[in-house]
Structure 1
Amino acid sequence: MEPTCITYKSGLRLVYLHKPSEVAHVGFFFRAGSRFEKENQTGLAHFLEHCVFKGTKKRNGIQTISRIDEVGGELNAYTAKEELCLHASFPKSHTARALELLSDISINPVFTKKEVEKEKEIIFDEINSYLDSPYDKIFDDFEEELFKGHALGNNILGVKEGLANLNKKDLEGFVRDYFFKGNLVVSFVGDVSLKTIERMLEKYLHAMPESGSQIEINPFSGYKPFRMIRKEANYQAHLVMGGMAPSYFNESRTAMAMLMNMIGGPAMNATLNISLRERHVLAYSVEANYVPYADVGFWQVYVGCESRNIKKSIKLIEKELERLQNKPISAAKLTKVKQQFKGQLALSMDVNSGLMYSLGKSLLAFGQIDTIEEIHKSIDNISADELQKLAQTYMRKSEVSSLVFDLKD
């Protein structure tokens, strides 16, 4: 069954998918991630994600976080570079409770000085935890260098010095600027009728403003490839290699995603997993992914291995990337790659909570959701020459950056 997408006069957008299940899932997706922060407010979007659970005009913090938990559900949120999402999973009989709560914390959050200062300490601990994990840190450090001097390079968590200066007015300003109907996508997956969901949204979101004052994104330009080695690893060395890639509005987006899936996706037969792990026994962790944004994207390969294996791993990765540039993959290989990609997409759609996230993010980013048939058609249309051209465009040795976390002295 295909999802239903509706845009209301207020600008609010809803994506609804009926799925027979005792559990329902809903997400409020705001186009309000970390790249929309002002220069002196790095970390504000993530800080807000924490603080919206600290109470509303009619609930204190404990009542807020207990509202879904006490019926066996889960309430949570996340912040990304281009979106902020409040979401809940719950028994379907409590759908009204979930939609009312998400609406309340979106429209009526209250930020007391005491709670704001307390939450800063929680985030400081979160930052410490992240700094203590080279595996987590290397990805953010790589993006920081990749998008150096641009908002896309800012760490979503922010830095302690900047967070210390954020206050109630900053939080209220961000809510005022970005939490409005025209900037919101509601994604619902579950066994509750569309009419019921629409009626609930009309009731609970009526007080949300229709417009705000969100800033236009500042497109990224000026990428400069880099090669860096830092002594930041504990027991295992870490490597990230990558570079620029198409944006999510680029017609080559699907082909790029399939290319990266072939190179280092989750399957054990991914090119780099076979080369580095199975054949040469150099690494336990090998993965690759493609991250598209509105104006630009990037690809990256990660390897976790012993320090003595870093140089050989880099050479093998470069060898595989050169092979992709020099010769198109065979017709038989292309058929298998497409079949695998379609199968993995099917598996990803088999989990209702994952469906809720992907539908919400897709509608927020593109303003539409492709059908399975349309997605399969776009995959079928990918040629070996297109994959080769993408590798030649984005994976030339001179355009590839790398960051190594080697063992501390």
Structure 2
Amino acid sequence: MSYKTHTSSNGIRFIHIPGKRVAAHCIVMINTGTRDELANEHGMAHFLEHVLFKGTQKRSSYQIINRIEEVGGDLDAFTTKEDTCVYATFLPKHFERAIELLSDIVFHSVFPQNQLEREKLVINDEINSYKDSPAELIYDEFEELIFDGHPLGRNILGTTESLKSFNTQAIQQFCQRTYNTDQIVVCVAGNISYSKALQSFNKYFSTVAENKRRWKRKPFKNFVPLHKTIDKNTFQAHCMLGTLAYSYNHKDRLTLHLLNNILGGGGSNSRLNMALRERKGMVYFIESNYNAYFDSGVAYIYFGTDKEKLEKALSLVLHELKKVREIPLTDKQLSVAKNQFYGQMALSFDNQESLAMNLTKSYMVFKKIDDLDVIQKEIESITAEDIIRVANEIYSEEKLSSLKYI
């Protein structure tokens, strides 16, 4: 995998990924998300991501939107528990237009109060749409259960009440405190030369005043498994089962990713899908997932089923977890699992935008990027005993929390 990196004197990092596709991408990823909000700022990271597009010192919101869209490109953003990402997709000949615009909205937005009030209405609608979708809402409420009382447990959108206090000054203060130059990675991917990309990066990002991070994230401690049932007026029952898991830098992170793929990852041949859907017809959708964070993580299983089948379906899930804790994979099973896991990862790298996003995140977290052959060797080194050990560390029944909507 070919790429080049550079770090400016203000701490902003740059990564260039050459490509020959029709589209090119420019990504600005900031190591700031929901967990970095103060108690009175719930939802501000996501709100800031929205209002970055509402006007800069030299552009109106209309001009921001049209700067990329009028040449056929796309401008978008998202917020997670730990990241904010603003990115553009465009034809390579419009690269200068894209990178200058991203720099302008990240560093020179003015957050006019009238625009903030209008955007609060938009986000309130977004909050209400989640409340109408229990299959989505349960994920947020489950992490709130796992990370009880900690910022990692907060939902990303905030609440109708918390949005009311947001104003221009509060947004500017949050941006100044958290959009630190040593916590920003800029990625350029596509048919744009390294020299041209670096020249533009230096022009629009290296000149930004240094603002390095002086504070540290508050770690989550004292996890206690909890079980909660909420009465919902829905046709289906929804269930989440899971626990605390490994952080980004844990030595067994990749083993847990492999175990997750075996249990309920992206394939229809996952153990949970085979046990509950294909053999029993008890669920339409079931999945497992593992989200790693800076200093923690969460592993979980979700499924929806008829209310009268909930306890039976849950017992089948617990049975599958017992099997991965107690019965080692055969050599053939392990080989198939590794090939599937690696193949899915390699194919995802064929999508240039997905590749750029993943590599930007990797460079931010690890300050390096591993080639596919390095990752493949790490996967091949995982043993059946490793999977048993990790399954017992993570999916021990007494460590599991549960959330049910009935």
The interval holding the TM-score normalised by the smaller chain is over 0.9
Tell me the residue number matched to 2:146: 146
Deviation of the 1:236 alpha carbon: 2.0
Tell me the residue number matched to 1:300: 300
Return the TM-score normalized by structure 2. 0.98
Q: Does 1:360 align with 2:360?
A: yes
Instruction: Structure 2: give runs of 5+ residues left out of the alignment.
Output: none
Aligned-partner residue type, residue 118 of structure 2: K
Deviation of the 1:212 alpha carbon: 4.0
State how far apart, in whole Å, the 2-side matches of 1:374 and 1:60 are. Answer: 46
Contact 2:329 2:384 in 1 (8 A): yes
State how far apart, in whole Å, the 2-side matches of 1:3 and 1:399 are. Answer: 42
SS at 2:361's partner residue?
Answer: helix
SS at 1:176's partner residue?
Answer: helix
Deviation of the 1:152 alpha carbon: 0.2
Tell me the residue number matched to 1:61: 61
State how far apart, in whole Å, the 1-side matches of 2:228 and 2:175 are. Answer: 38
Return the TM-score normalized by structure 1. 0.97
Tell me the residue number matched to 2:32: 32
Tell me the residue number matched to 1:120: 120
Deviation of the 1:178 alpha carbon: 2.6
Deviation of the 1:233 alpha carbon: 5.0
SS at 1:53's partner residue?
Answer: coil
- CA deviation profile, 1:224-274 (whole Å, cap 9, x unmatched): 111221122522221111111111100100000010011001111101000
Deviation of the 1:26 alpha carbon: 1.3
Aligned-partner residue type, residue 401 of structure 2: S
Deviation of the 1:166 alpha carbon: 1.4
State how far apart, in whole Å, the 2-side matches of 1:391 and 1:127 are. Answer: 35
SS at 1:210's partner residue?
Answer: coil
Residues 190/115 of structure 1: CA separation in 2 closer, same or farther (3 Å cut):
same
Larger displacement relative to structure 2 (49-58 or 159-168): 159-168
Deviation of the 1:209 alpha carbon: 2.1
Number of residues paired by the alignment?
Answer: 406
SS at 2:285's partner residue?
Answer: strand
Tell me the residue number matched to 2:239: 239
Deviation of the 1:366 alpha carbon: 1.4
State how far apart, in whole Å, the 1-side matches of 2:233 and 2:367 are. Answer: 42
Tell me the residue number matched to 1:70: 70
Q: Does 1:193 align with 2:172?
A: no
State how far apart, in whole Å, the 2-side matches of 1:208 and 1:177 are. Answer: 15
State how far apart, in whole Å, the 2-side matches of 1:2 and 1:273 are. Answer: 37
Matches of residues 134-213 of structure 1 in structure 2 within 5 Å? 134-213=134-213
SS at 2:318's partner residue?
Answer: helix
- CA deviation profile, 1:198-217 (whole Å, cap 9, x unmatched): 00111122442222456311
Contact 2:8 2:202 in 1 (8 A): no
- CA deviation profile, 1:267-303 (whole Å, cap 9, x unmatched): 1110100000000110010111100001111101111
Aligned-residue identity in percent: 37
Contact 2:14 2:201 in 1 (8 A): no
Tell me the residue number matched to 1:230: 230
Tell me the residue number matched to 1:284: 284
Tell me the residue number matched to 2:382: 382
Aligned-partner residue type, residue 380 of structure 1: E
Tell me the residue number matched to 1:84: 84
Deviation of the 1:179 alpha carbon: 2.6
State how far apart, in whole Å, the 1-side matches of 2:341 and 2:240 are. Answer: 23
Instruction: Structure 1: give runs of 5+ residues left out of the alignment.
Output: none
Q: Does 1:254 align with 2:254?
A: yes
Residues 13/189 of structure 1: CA separation in 2 closer, same or farther (3 Å cut):
same
